[in-house]
Amino acid sequence: MSHLTEEKLLTAIAIDDEPKALDVIKLHAAKVPFIDLKACFTDAFQAILYLQNNPVDLIFLDIKMPDITGIELVHCLQKVPMIIFTTAYTEYAVQGFELDALDYLLKPFPLPRFLKACNKALTQKQANGGDKRDFVFLKTGYEEEKVFFNDILYIEAEGNYLTFVLQDCKILTRQSMIDILQILPDNQFIRIHRSFIIAIHQVTKIARQSLSIQGYEIPFGVSFEENIQKIREKLKG
């Protein structure tokens, strides 16, 4: 996949006193088309100086560093961007989320987990009035594939994997239903079964226990009747 300039929607820096940890972030970020990693710092104080004149959308921030912790660094910033903490120590998780951190990556983190955190950041930027997002990047093998929301018919879960059924193909990715629901716009997509999320505008028929989308019949879950009613009301409107 080509990394097009217009797709670099999020500017970011990384701060970690371990050069090898920064190398991992550089490697992962280079594979996420919408992340523009501007700089990496092993010195937290140099990073603070950089941020005074170079605002960014996102910081990948180690927590346990000499002289100043990542949590203390956040308190030093006048304007706090989105924070994704990166650490090998689980005991800092609660402190991290108390600072409204966007995510918490436990080292060593693989590319799919890194991509999940980046997708959260892009969704958060949209919610805050940033660039309007009409797509999601899905990890497929060693690549990320850009999928537009309008092309999705429905999503089916099986174990730890999701199958995205599109207009002309299917894409399998390792992700959870809960994670993808945080990314998809809730005015376009809704869950109707523990294993199915559907695109509301793609529904062509609603029956007693299922609905149809371009020839696919998808069952309702008994605990999702409220969501089925929302679909009926939205389609009538």
Residue 75 CA to residue 69 CA, distance in Å, equals 10
Sequence-ordered strand ranges (E) for 25-102: 35-41, 58-62, 82-87
Q: Are strands 10-15 and 58-62 parallel, antiparallel or unpaired?
A: parallel
Closest CA relative to residue 202, chosen from 217, 210, 192, 212: 212
Q: What is the pLDDT of residues 148-161, one digit of tens each?
A: 999 999 999 998 89
Task: Give me the pLDDT at residue 141, please.
Answer: 79
What pTM, to 2 d.p., does this model score? Answer: 0.59
- Helix 111-127 × helix 19-29 angle, to 10°: 70
Task: Give me the pLDDT at residue 98, please.
Answer: 53
Least confident of 23-37, 113-127, 128-142: 128-142
Long-range contacts of 223-231 (CB under 8 A, 24+ apart): 223/194, 224/191, 224/192, 224/193, 227/190, 227/191, 227/192, 228/192, 230/190, 231/190, 231/192, 231/198, 231/200, 231/203, 231/206
Name the residue with higher pLDDT: 210 or 127. Answer: 210
Would you place residue 164 in the very low, low, confident or very high pLDDT band (cuts 50, 70, 90)? very high
Q: What CA dihedral angle connects 6, 8, 9 and 11, to 10 degrees?
A: -140
Domains and CATH numbers, the chain: 5-127 (3.40.50.2300), 136-236 (2.40.50.1020)
Name the residue with higher pLDDT: 88 or 11. Answer: 11
Task: Give me the pLDDT at residue 219, please.
Answer: 95
